[in-house]
C-alpha cells in the first residue's frame, strides 16, 4: 500500500504545497507578481515573519517560487512564481472556489 502512495502524483502535489501558509502565499503571488517580503507580510498579517520566511524558503527549494535579491542599500528581496509555480494557478483557484462553497 505504501508504494502506491509513494508514486501518487496527488500526494506529491500536496507535499509540495502543504502547509497553512503555502496556498495563501501562492495565491498572493498569483495576484501580486514580484512581491517583496514586506509586502507579503502586509498581505498575510496573521502569518508570523518567521513562518513566512520558512514557507517561502520551502517554496523556493521546491522550485515553485523564485527569490530575487537586488544588490541595493538596503538589499531588496522579491518573490515571484516560477513557470512551474504558474502551473498551480488552476489548482489554487480550484481550491479557493471549492473552499468558498462551504
Give me the CATH number covering residue 33.
1.10.10.10
Q: Coil, helix or strand for 20?
A: coil
Q: Which residues pair with 80 in a beta bridge?
A: 66
Is 15 inside any structural domain? yes
Domain count, the chain: 1
Average pLDDT over residues 83-98: 92
In whole angstroms, give the CA distance from residue 69 to residue 74: 11
Is 72 inside any structural domain? yes
Each residue's pLDDT tens digit, 30-66:
999 899 999 999 999 999 999 999 999 999 999 999 9
- The pTM for the full model equals 0.85
Question: CB within 8 A of 78, min separation 6: which ones?
Answer: 34, 35, 36, 37, 67, 68, 70
In whole angstroms, give the CA distance from residue 87 to residue 98: 18
Is 102 inside any structural domain? no
**Range of the structural domain that residue 89 is part of:** 2-97
Amino acid at each position: 500500500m505504501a508504494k502506491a502512495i509513494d508514486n501518487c502524483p496527488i500526494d506529491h502535489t500536496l507535499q509540495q504545497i502543504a502547509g497553512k501558509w503555502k496556498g495563501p502565499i501562492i495565491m498572493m503571488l498569483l495576484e501580486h507578481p514580484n512581491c517583496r517580503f514586506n509586502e507579503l507580510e502586509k498581505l498575510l498579517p496573521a502569518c508570523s515573519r518567521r513562518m513566512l520566511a520558512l514557507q517561502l524558503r520551502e517554496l523556493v527549494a521546491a522550485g515553485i517560487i523564485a527569490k530575487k535579491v537586488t544588490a541595493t542599500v538596503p538589499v531588496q528581496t522579491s518573490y515571484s512564481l516560477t513557470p512551474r509555480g504558474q502551473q498551480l494557478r488552476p489548482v489554487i483557484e480550484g481550491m479557493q472556489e471549492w473552499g468558498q462553497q462551504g
